[in-house]
Chains A and B, each alone.
Chain A
């Protein structure tokens, strides 16, 4: 992985300024300043001059000045150059969080509806996706973690702490005997997940050999 470093003077002059970290930072600040200023234009301005727009206006002015200073600095003095970041990691992290958000309770968006799958599925899905953000991912360990940690979270947050978080998908609840309490359903499925996790970590082919090397 490459890291940001100051570029030598001669080289920096030739670089497009767009790659300068300070230039991008300055542009961002100026953009924020302008939009904040624009967004507070239509707020009430009481006669004594102190109103809801006062502080936002001061702030956007100050942000604009800071941004301009960074831009100037970038033009006159070469700064740290952006290197292209590896975007796979961040993208997978975002995808994992979004998947968790959309499967935990179910959402319908733009005609597409995702059923609520509860922590039982949302948890492992989020962990499996996010795990691939790391370059040295190992499928067996990750799967074990996904199942085991989900079981743990179900017991801790759902059973012990009673947090209002959906645990099981409704179809599964319907499958289980109606006489069982919600807690019994939860514990049973957590136990099943936990057992699966242990099985995977112990019995996965090569897992012990590989982890010892």
Chain B
């Protein structure tokens, strides 16, 4: 307990240094902005701002980058609710019910509940990290490659279960995403895989390019061919403050989402992406009328939003303790740490306690700032969104082009987003949802690494995944989930067949 207090006070003493406060605020503000502006994600932003942080000390730099990350979570929820365009993979779920609420004129309530839930979850997660960081590091260390692999399989299966449309197509998209992540030089043998002999591909497919192509450019194309479906809300935001009824129906989802998110965030390899999906599934399961979900159920916003924020925070644990990035943004954070001379791993907590705890404390501070930035200023964000789409998409396109170009100064990168944009558009036309593909892509390399390590230890026997108890139970969960996902889709398929 004394440890807990000492760590927290150390953290807050670092976080309240004026420069760090300013950097946290800047990070949150920029994060919200890029989260709100569709087509510019935290990934490109962090990549762009990385060179600027060289002049700042490592703690401040990481505080600002972290601020961009969770600021974008907030901003991403805002666009998910108002434009049905999730800024981040973690707010995909928010779009389902949040946008429906916005269409019913309850955008203000959805935004407020998302912010309040996120703030609550952020607070709890911060305390939880301070309390559990050390013991949890030891638990996480028990996970071997076998368990990691199975854990990631569960994460991917969750993405399948929650993807809209055909389960089979979602599975195919995940497989394709993992396959794409394997393009490039094999780290173990140095052999080039599936590169067609192109030197451009020997480093693999750039995640930023793929993501911008598929979520930036392809999305524009999709919106242009489905004019009736593009969704900048025309209704009023409505009142901002949720009423008693809203609070009553969302308070349990917030609590459950927080718990779920905190736990899933700690587990390496899943992070903030998985948590909101899981929370949504849980809320839908527990709801008295599951049919309301997808039609503007406030629980479908409150739970996942709390979950993604809790997970975003606790996912720093695997990053700081094991050096495992749960998502692409965290992978960039690892890059930032290395540039600043900090080797991610278990030694961070003991060698750089000021940085570790300072970052965690600054997250709470940042969450408080975000509450202030987001709710009173929501009018500004909304005004940004009321610009007609015919003027929006050229701007998105321009930001994408500049963002991609500025990362490597390569015109070919810009051309590639056009290519991936077209591929994404073609996939959408064939009924594939691109989101699961991106998740598969993010986890792909790590998945393979662990698979190969596990198989090397077991001398090539795949049975190892069933012989390890933790891994076996994780795979069991995955199998059950797949079966459950298949069943209702069969039923739904029958229903539509009958009505036709």
Residue ranges of A at the interface with B (Cβ–Cβ < 8 Å): 1, 3-4, 6, 8-9, 21-22, 24-25, 28-29, 32, 36, 39-40, 43-44, 48-56, 59-60, 62-63, 66-67, 69-70, 80, 82, 85-86, 89-90, 93-94, 96-98, 100-102, 104-105, 107, 119, 122-123, 126-127, 130-131, 133-138, 141-142, 145-146, 149-150, 153, 157, 161-165
Q: Which of A70, A93, A101 is the one whose CB lies under 8 Å from B414? A: A101
In the bound complex, residues from chain A placing their C-beta under 8 Å from that of B447 are: 55
Cα distance A53–B401 when bound, in Å?
Answer: 35
In the bound complex, residues from chain B placing their C-beta under 8 Å from that of A149 are: 394-395, 398
B350, CB-defined interface residue at 8 Å? no
A–B pairs, 9, beta carbons within 8 Å = A1-B227, A55-B182, A62-B175, A94-B418, A101-B405, A101-B418, A126-B401, A157-B406, A165-B405
B460 with A56: CB separation less than 8 A:
no
Min C-beta distance of B380 to chain A, whole Å: 16
In the bound complex, residues from chain A placing their C-beta under 8 Å from that of B451 are: 54-55
Cα distance A85–B426 when bound, in Å?
Answer: 10
B179 with A56: CB separation less than 8 A:
yes
- The stretch of B77-85, B164-172, B242-250, B366-374 in contact with A is B164-172
Cα distance A97–B413 when bound, in Å?
Answer: 11
B401 with A48: CB separation less than 8 A:
no
Known A-B contacts: A29-B172, A39-B194. Give 8 more (CB < 8 A). A3-B226, A43-B193, A55-B182, A82-B429, A102-B411, A107-B411, A130-B393, A165-B405
1/0 per residue B213-231: CB within 8 Å of A? 0000100110011111000
In the bound complex, residues from chain A placing their C-beta under 8 Å from that of B460 are: 48-50
In the bound complex, residues from chain A placing their C-beta under 8 Å from that of B422 are: 90, 94
B179 with A25: CB separation less than 8 A:
no
Question: In the complex where A50-B460, A104-B411, A165-B405 touch, is A24 in contact with B430 (Cβ < 8 A)?
Answer: yes
A66 with B168: CB separation less than 8 A:
yes
**Listed residue (B179, B196, B406) with the most chain A CB atoms within 10 angstroms of its CB:** B179
A142 with B394: CB separation less than 8 A:
yes
Closest to B51 in A: A162
In the bound complex, residues from chain B placing their C-beta under 8 Å from that of A53 are: 193
Cα distance A101–B417 when bound, in Å?
Answer: 10
Question: In the complex where A50-B460, A93-B220 touch, is A163 in contact with B194 (Cβ < 8 A)?
Answer: no
In the bound complex, residues from chain A placing their C-beta under 8 Å from that of B289 are: none
B225 with A86: CB separation less than 8 A:
yes
Residues in B15-64 with C-beta less than 8 Å from chain A: 48-49, 52
Min C-beta distance of B157 to chain A, whole Å: 13
B206, CB-defined interface residue at 8 Å? no
Min C-beta distance of A65 to chain B, whole Å: 9
Closest to B432 in A: A25
Closest to B194 in A: A39
Min C-beta distance of A60 to chain B, whole Å: 7
B3, CB-defined interface residue at 8 Å? no
Min C-beta distance of B114 to chain A, whole Å: 28
B390 with A134: CB separation less than 8 A:
yes
Cα distance A130–B415 when bound, in Å?
Answer: 15
Closest to B169 in A: A25
Cα distance A169–B239 when bound, in Å?
Answer: 50
In the bound complex, residues from chain B placing their C-beta under 8 Å from that of A25 are: 169, 172, 430-432
Closest to B224 in A: A89
- How many residues belonging to B are interface residues under a CB distance threshold of 8 Å? 65
B304, CB-defined interface residue at 8 Å? no
1/0 per residue B149-190: CB within 8 Å of A? 000000000000000000011011001101100100010110
A164 with B401: CB separation less than 8 A:
no
In the bound complex, residues from chain B placing their C-beta under 8 Å from that of A32 are: 176, 179
Min C-beta distance of B41 to chain A, whole Å: 16
B178 with A93: CB separation less than 8 A:
no
Min C-beta distance of A95 to chain B, whole Å: 8
Q: Which of B220, B415, B431, B432 is the one whose CB lies under 8 Å from A101? A: B415
Question: In the complex where A56-B193, A59-B175 touch, is A50 in contact with B394 (Cβ < 8 A)?
Answer: no
Cα distance A134–B396 when bound, in Å?
Answer: 14
Cα distance A54–B460 when bound, in Å?
Answer: 10
In the bound complex, residues from chain B placing their C-beta under 8 Å from that of A3 are: 226, 228
A1 with B402: CB separation less than 8 A:
no
Min C-beta distance of B401 to chain A, whole Å: 4
**Listed residue (B194, B391, B402, B459) with the most chain A CB atoms within 10 angstroms of its CB:** B402
A141 with B191: CB separation less than 8 A:
no
Query: Which 6 residue pairs spanning A and B have beta carbons closest together?
Result: A101-B414, A89-B224, A97-B418, A52-B186, A49-B460, A134-B390
Cα distance A208–B456 when bound, in Å?
Answer: 71
In the bound complex, residues from chain B placing their C-beta under 8 Å from that of A60 are: 179
A100 with B48: CB separation less than 8 A:
no
B186 with A80: CB separation less than 8 A:
no
Min C-beta distance of B210 to chain A, whole Å: 15
A52 with B188: CB separation less than 8 A:
yes
B295, CB-defined interface residue at 8 Å? no
B2, CB-defined interface residue at 8 Å? no
B194 with A162: CB separation less than 8 A:
no
Cα distance A49–B401 when bound, in Å?
Answer: 43
Min C-beta distance of B198 to chain A, whole Å: 12
Min C-beta distance of B444 to chain A, whole Å: 9
In the bound complex, residues from chain A placing their C-beta under 8 Å from that of B227 are: 1, 135
Question: In the complex where A98-B415, A130-B393 touch, is A90 in contact with B425 (Cβ < 8 A)?
Answer: yes
